[in-house]
Amino acid sequence: MATIKPFAALRPRPELAAQICELPYDVMSSAEARELAAGNPLSFLHVSKPEIDLPAGTDVHAPEVYAKGKENFDRLIAQGALRQDSQPGFYLYRQIMGRHSQTGLVATASCEDYLKNIIKKHELTRPDKEDDRVRHIETLNSQTGPVFLTYRSHAALQALWQKRTGATPDIDFTAGDGVRHTAWVINDAETVRFIESEFGRIPFLYIADGHHRSAAAARVYQSRKAAGGSGFFLAVIFPHEQMQILPYNRVLKSLNGLTPAQLLDKLGAVFILKQEGTAQPTRKHELAMFLEGRWHTLHFRPQFAATTDPIEKLDVTLLQKHVLAPIFGIDDPRTSQQINFVGGIRGTAELEKLVNQGDYACAFSMFPTSIEDLMVIADAGGIMPPKSTWFEPKLRDAMFCHMI
């Protein structure tokens, strides 16, 4: 069963939250971060991407980068922009993005649960990215970016969240991208005990986003032998039915020597093709392809999707197995220079732009993977293909920090 703990969060002063809190470090380049933080010394990007305060071209993994992050973190604390709560508690964090709303519990999750697979994974991690997060945690002595977890919805907890979010929030701001972020503190002993007890009835938690953060936290826990608060990591935990997964689209550099007519002919053996299609697939096993200025609707022929294996029937798997490898020659999408991935938040207009300006030859617009598929695969101990899911909205760094 899942073990979670309250903690005394380091949080922004409410009136400064909009200036401090930022998108995660790994959804933008150093150049984009430098532009976003320009003129704003309170931006948490000075902590999460501190290379922006060093000369352009600095190795982002150089020791001076982590040291600069620590210096900037300490400065925000010293000037009172970030303040630690006086007692442990849980927190509710609600995000509203357009018509979508999701409310999660901010807590610390157990590194032992992670190691014992009570917290289930669905992605492989890269050692270099783990190493980066380990160094960041160790240097700051804090976890500043939460892991995005989910659980199968629990009625008693949902009732409590609904009741508590009726009160005036402790933090409430709308970020520049239009997403509204609100937070409430829960620190009365009775409710804290109730939340711990109810999560103790939940058999598993699932990582939605943050595999490298959680892996790094577990490594720090092991190296520190559970000293201090290292045995737990910062997380925001959402009920599964509130998850919003957007597609992770594909753009291809070339047609692998084929003419457009030859490509369509080969695709006709895999898909039922509609050459006057739309940009947005409407159902599972349906894709859209942008080629020569127009969209084509592609639906996998039944024999290709006729499997009970939860990984094999994912659209991203089917596309890789029956199209990208045999037709485009892309055997390993992790290393191939012929493919790139575009998060669904950028929309299909971004795919059109990339193809129309000549950077890419064609694009595939995907139907999003479901949260149910993710949990079934994680339960089976499976690993999803790379770039299978894009969760939105993203959690804001610095809304909550866990001092270890």
The predicted-structure confidence for 154-182, as pLDDT tens digits, reads as follows 999 999 999 999 999 999 999 999 999 99
Please give the mean pLDDT across all residues of the chain.
96
The CA–CA distances, whole Å, from 128 to 50, 111, 133, 154, 212 equal 18, 20, 9, 37, 10
Q: Are 207 and 119 in contact (CB under 8 A)?
A: yes
Maximum C-alpha span of the chain: 68
**E strand or H helix at 212:** helix 211-224
| Three-class DSSP category at 397 | strand
Residue 275: per-residue pLDDT = 86
Q: What is the pTM of this model?
A: 0.92
List, as one string, the DSSP characters of 302-329.
HHHH----TTTTSHHHHHIIIIITTTT-
Tokens of 318: 């089917």
What is the percent of the chain where pLDDT is above 90?
Answer: 95
Tens-place pLDDT, residues 223-263: 999 999 999 999 999 999 999 999 999 999 999 999 999 99
Residue 219: per-residue pLDDT = 98
Mean pLDDT of 330-335: 91
Separation CA 356–CA 263 (nearest Å):
18
Q: Which domains does the chain have, with CATH numbers?
A: 4-243+392-403 (no CATH), 248-367 (3.30.1760)
Q: Is the pLDDT of residue 334 over 90?
A: no
Q: Where are the alpha helices (DSSP H) in 302-399?
A: 302-305, 315-319, 347-356, 371-379
Amino acid identity at 242: Q
Sign of the dihedral through C-alpha 12, 13, 17, 20 = negative
List, as one string, the DSSP characters of 239-269.
EGGG--EE-EEEEES--TT--HHHHHHHHTT
Tens-place pLDDT, residues 72-84: 999 999 999 999 9
Residue 208: per-residue pLDDT = 95
Mean pLDDT of 35-49: 97
Please state the three-class secondary structure of 117-150 as a single string: CCEECCCCCCHHHHHHHHHHHHHHCEECCCEEEE
Q: Is the pLDDT of residue 386 over 90?
A: no
Sign of the dihedral through C-alpha 331, 336, 338, 343 = positive
46-52, long-range: CB within 8 Å, 24+ apart, which pairs? 46/72, 47/72, 47/73, 47/76, 47/140, 47/144, 47/397, 47/398, 48/22, 48/24, 48/144, 48/145, 48/397, 48/398, 49/25
Q: Is the pLDDT of residue 276 over 90?
A: no
Residue 182: per-residue pLDDT = 98
Residue 268: per-residue pLDDT = 97
Separation CA 237–CA 6 (nearest Å):
13
Rg (the chain; Cα; Å): 22
Q: Is the pLDDT of residue 271 over 90?
A: yes
The CA–CA distances, whole Å, from 314 to 118, 129, 252, 356 equal 24, 26, 20, 29
Tens-place pLDDT, residues 353-379: 999 999 999 999 999 999 999 999 999
Beta bridge partners of 266: none
**E strand or H helix at 157:** helix 155-164
Q: Are 377 and 124 in contact (CB under 8 A)?
A: no
Which of 241, 214, 55 has the alpha carbon at shortest distance from 119?
214
Phi-psi region of 248 (alpha: psi -120 to 50; beta: other; left: phi over 0): beta
Residue 145: per-residue pLDDT = 93
Mean pLDDT of 304-314: 93
Separation CA 202–CA 149 (nearest Å):
13
Tens-place pLDDT, residues 70-116: 999 999 999 999 999 999 999 999 999 999 999 999 999 999 999 99
Separation CA 100–CA 143 (nearest Å):
27
Residue 193: per-residue pLDDT = 97
Q: pLDDT band at 1, cuts 50/70/90?
A: confident
Amino acid identity at 108: T
Phi-psi region of 324 (alpha: psi -120 to 50; beta: other; left: phi over 0): alpha
The CA–CA distances, whole Å, from 224 to 8, 230, 348, 376, 403 equal 20, 7, 46, 33, 14
